[in-house]
Structure 1
């Protein structure tokens, strides 16, 4: 009984290694909440697909499956082996060289994830910076809604996993139409973007709908690609799927954010003597790439047939499994913790970098700072992974709260005392150092919570479990963004002061915070006088709440949660 249970669980765990090794935002590019150069990626992390258990979902709710009973009979060592998909005598590491088929599969996966990273980098990175000059923070809050689909993939991932056209393939049935739509949307935007950006205040709703749709289709493509990785790669090299995700998404995101912002800057182009890159040309290029990859998939890439049973097609069963997990009391405690854990640095993540650009920091300087920070995030990830091992994986996650809150405060002070441009080399180096250290604390939190999710997720339904936890973690960074951006305008007091014949006249303007509002004031022959910048009030409120919630709820709750035995996180019989 032991041997059979261990091997059965191990096999299933290996089949779901894609969903259980990556942790929170497994395929997410870095930049999770930079203090000075936030890219807001903390709010939208990529979660794994929701694979179906090989047991019937009803068995979990109504008494447990035979394989669950077998797993319960194993000792702790065997349970650990089963959880991470390691058979006896198997180190879990493949000593076989990569086959040419696996190499081609890794290239294909990296390209597919790259296609996702491009619209994500635009929606969360570069476009908000292009709009900042023309929109109020309340209007930017509306555009921030475009990132929500990546935080809500759990809602429709079982559908993508279960419904397909057999003649096309389980994964290609979704990837081909999604990429066709993504390419078509980018092509449409490329021909209309200048018109939309000329009057962004009038077109903010259209821009939000377009980019929300773009992110939604990219998120749906991601669900299908995650599932395809399980059959594209051989079993011994399955763990390299996360490597493909990291390479592809990071490359796509940084090309759309870091590289594009630099090449889109006229100052950068003049300084280095390179052509000025327009957003329309950038979008057209990637739409052609998207169409080209889609044509290749349609005519030249075959998909292996998967052996499916009734459970693989049972959408209702997966949703029931998700609900049975949510009903666990300690899971509810964790979900509450996740929903509010990132409020403390929400203002910093969403606004600080925009404020620095408003104060005179060049977008190309911002891009360079983020680019320099990237390799340090990789190093930080390796270090944090080793710190998160052992019986207290949440300990580094808890420790990193304090430096992350501290750097949020430092970032706010930087905005307050930002020097008059041009900024000196010394100050720019200081900004880079602050960005690197703030990013490092964010990376520690990311890896720590990922390790904990991996530890507690049931190996037989790991993908579903992980996706549920990651959804709430991602929402914790997504939902505050709208409110903190709205709060800046709400708490700001700025008036348009017009001097006529030596008399100062204060005109109450509808909006005198954004560059557009200041331009309207200038048309009246006046100057915007900011009596109170709402950014500082919102930042203070967020950090105050963050400290109180950390001490009063997160620390005691996290200590109790990580002290629970793994068996307590399993779905119990009702």
Structure 2
């Protein structure tokens, strides 16, 4: 592996050329007309760890280093190699050239049966994650909104945080495994069993939790926090497995699998479940109402069934032969974090979603095609293009959603307004899917397979944090900026009591029991929405898009850690 311009890797601290281990000769020469790929070994942060990554070679430096006796260092390096390796090193294309070759070649090469099976497997594994996430982030808060204030909902929203903090235990998932089972299956199998078991346990008391949430808010939060934690752990293993399941030219479709699987599971647990859970919907179509208990039991059985199916799928031996200690992976992760480009990308993620955060956190409480497009769109030399373009429609749709809430008519709703709601919801979901698929494809492209699960999880952590850390403050802010009173009319007088609880359905019901009526003088939702959208527009123009363009132009070598 040659040096890059910023890190004169071939020279040791003493100034002498660093001796390298000779590379093993290829068992079979490359076929004529096919890209040459040598079975090179790459070291991670500690030289004792070696892995055979499927990534192309590191680009060669344009600066020629020389040894103390004046001999060009490139010749010193090549002298340690065999004849075949010297020819391959001399004629080898740069990492970005080779990656571009695979990008364009993959666009015309038909997908293999192995990759098709891998895509189906990944979609199903990500689907299992979508089930609990759709409940924790969508359906359950929606069902609780009639009984709790936004401040109480903020407590439950903390259940989503483990999915954003999984980086802290991802090195354990990457390093500890049972070779007889497989590096990734050692974690996927038990996590899915636990996910199914937790859902089954919650189902026994789910109706009581939903009908009397104020009494069980902390127990309910703990239960779903545990569920999200186990789902996040399964996600770490699946992300790492995706890097080796798919061939090099089809790696961008790993992000597509995640988009389709997660969104499908989320859609089933949120939109589909809420529709089937509605008494009016069930009555209109003459079908039994789907209770939360029944749906949890269905998800539990599905998780168990997929786990049994995985027992018959063999994980490649090469992904289970590497023995990486937990200390080594944490050390490597720290080296990754120290990369300036990674720091910039993580900062970009932390503030990229604030523009529509009020919409995501509150609007939905008031009222597979995109993933495939994002995967294909991200295969060129500008993988962040869909992520950047989707900023503007998402900000515009956040404004439209806020105006929709403001002008929401009293029932019955006209067909025209209903059509507008459907179009707005579909467009918002499509834009979000495009952006998610684009950034996930970029993560797959730059991640180092040496610590694939940890690297992908590190980047995904900050992506998720960008959508979770503002949520608590947004929900709190609604109550903070809202001004409401409970006006109680008595004989000969009218009593007006300031009550922030009048903002929630629970508060309105409490006021009505006292014979009063809630009057909202100022709804903090619109203030918070305006603040988020203004911050979003400013950050997109002056930081998000310019920074994203610089990051996607960097060579892959800038995202790797070398010993």
For 1:255-270, list aligned pairs within 5 A. Answer: 255-270=268-283
Structure 1 residue 226 displacement after superposition: 4.1
1:406 aligns with one of 381, 386, 396: 396
2:113 aligns with one of 95, 98, 123: 98
The 1:249–1:399 alpha-carbon spacing in structure 2 relative to 1, beyond 3 Å, is: closer
* Cα pair 1:380 1:443 within 8 Å, conserved: no
* Cα pair 1:93 1:236 within 8 Å, conserved: no
Q: 1:50 aligns to what?
A: none
Structure 1 residue 335 displacement after superposition: 2.2
Structure 1 residue 491 displacement after superposition: 1.0
Distance 2:434 2:267 in 1: 21
* Cα pair 2:191 2:230 within 8 Å, conserved: yes
Q: 2:362 aligns to what?
A: 351
Structure 1 residue 525 displacement after superposition: 0.6
The alignment status of 1:79 with 2:92, answered yes or no, reads no
The alignment status of 1:216 with 2:209, answered yes or no, reads no
Q: 1:207 aligns to what?
A: 220
Secondary structure, in 3 states, of the residue corresponding to 1:528? Answer: strand
The alignment status of 1:479 with 2:490, answered yes or no, reads no
Query: TM-score if structure 2 supplies the norm length?
Result: 0.77
The alignment status of 1:58 with 2:46, answered yes or no, reads yes
Structure 1 residue 435 displacement after superposition: 2.7
Q: 1:46 aligns to what?
A: none
Distance 2:235 2:385 in 1: 31
For 1:32-43, list aligned pairs within 5 A. Answer: none
CA RMSD of the aligned region, Å?
3.9
Q: 1:275 aligns to what?
A: 288
Structure 1 residue 173 displacement after superposition: 3.0
- 5+ residue gaps in structure 1? 12-52, 357-373
* Cα pair 1:397 1:444 within 8 Å, conserved: yes
Residues 233-286 of structure 1 deviation map (CA, whole Å, 9 limit, x = unaligned): 789988776665455434332221122111100110011111111111111222
Distance 1:430 1:201 in 2: 35
Q: 2:529 aligns to what?
A: 539
* Cα pair 1:94 1:237 within 8 Å, conserved: no
* Cα pair 1:193 1:280 within 8 Å, conserved: yes
2:416 aligns with one of 416, 419, 426: 426
Q: 1:327 aligns to what?
A: 338
The alignment status of 1:415 with 2:405, answered yes or no, reads yes
Distance 2:551 2:122 in 1: 36
Structure 1 residue 71 displacement after superposition: 4.5
Q: 1:342 aligns to what?
A: 353
Structure 1 residue 475 displacement after superposition: 1.1
* Cα pair 2:157 2:472 within 8 Å, conserved: yes
Secondary structure, in 3 states, of the residue corresponding to 2:501? Answer: coil
- Equivalent residues, number: 499
Structure 1 or 2: more helix by fraction: 1
Q: 2:81 aligns to what?
A: none
Of 458-467 and 476-485, more deviation after overlay is shown by 458-467
Structure 1 residue 410 displacement after superposition: 1.8
Structure 1 residue 232 displacement after superposition: 6.6
* Cα pair 1:489 1:513 within 8 Å, conserved: yes
Residues 473-520 of structure 1 deviation map (CA, whole Å, 9 limit, x = unaligned): 221111111110111111111111111114211123361111111111
Greater RCO between the two (CA within 8 Å, min separation 6)?
Answer: 1
2:374 aligns with one of 377, 381, 385: 381
Secondary structure, in 3 states, of the residue corresponding to 1:149? Answer: helix
Distance 1:332 1:346 in 2: 22
Of 474-483 and 252-261, more deviation after overlay is shown by 252-261
Structure 1 residue 56 displacement after superposition: 3.0
Distance 2:537 2:253 in 1: 38
* Cα pair 1:380 1:440 within 8 Å, conserved: no
